[in-house]
Amino acid sequence: MKNVFRMPTPVKIVGRTSSITNAFINGIIPVIEPSDEEINEALKTLGMTRETICCAYCGDSYTEWDHFHPLIKNKKHTGYISEIHNLVPACGKCNQSKGNRDWEEWINSDARLSPKTRGINDLEQRIERLHLYEKKYKPRLINVEEIVGFELWEQHKSNYEKLIALMKECQETSDIIKQMIYKATKEE
């Protein structure tokens, strides 16, 4: 008999810490809108046009623009920002699979849904174009602490740490409440 039922995955408050990390970093990073000319030039470097735009990593239909160099690594800002020189068109599979890894390490890895794993036949050509893109466009690196000052940056980091600690405390309370409710429903 085919199994058609599956319980929903229980939600954990602490399971959302990566969303909080992303919000704390992405919330302060500038988003520099590119001109039409900059978009066209970036696409040309990747061997595309507006009509032929596709995922730079695998060639599938693009759904978004991926941060070529991640904004966050090890729960810290890498120094990169959101600008055309740090973005390439990507499909959802590649963007999710790549995550915050270095593009070249990931594209040649055995990671689930990586272009290598999916057997993309023109992978070497794509890698060459991405090398050219990386050489031609140097994304800006910023030092947030240098720009905003030590105290304000430390306050932002402290706020983040307090929120994560509060989430852990909330999880403990939530677990107690959940057990009490579970026990009450079993007694009925």
Task: Report which of 30, 97, 108 is spatially closest to residue 66, judged by C-alpha positions.
Answer: 97
pLDDT confidence of residue 188 = 66
pLDDT confidence of residue 146 = 96
Distance, CA of 64 to CA of 91 (rounded, Å): 6
* Positions in the chain whose pLDDT score sits under 70: 188
Q: Render pLDDT for 129-152 as a digit per residue (tens, 0 to 9).
A: 999 999 999 899 999 999 999 999
Distance, CA of 39 to CA of 46 (rounded, Å): 11
Q: Backbone dihedral region of 56: left (phi > 0), alpha (psi from -120 to 50 degrees) or beta?
A: alpha
This model's pTM is above 0.75: yes
The burial of 50, by beta-carbon neighbours within 10 Å (0-12 exposed, 13-18 middle, 19 or more buried), is given as exposed
Q: Render pLDDT for 15-43 as a digit per residue (tens, 0 to 9).
A: 888 899 999 999 999 999 999 999 999 99
Distance, CA of 45 to CA of 88 (rounded, Å): 11
Distance, CA of 163 to CA of 129 (rounded, Å): 42
Contacts of 113 (CB under 8 A, 6+ apart): 93, 94, 96, 97
Residue with tokens 């759904």: 63
Distance, CA of 133 to CA of 147 (rounded, Å): 28
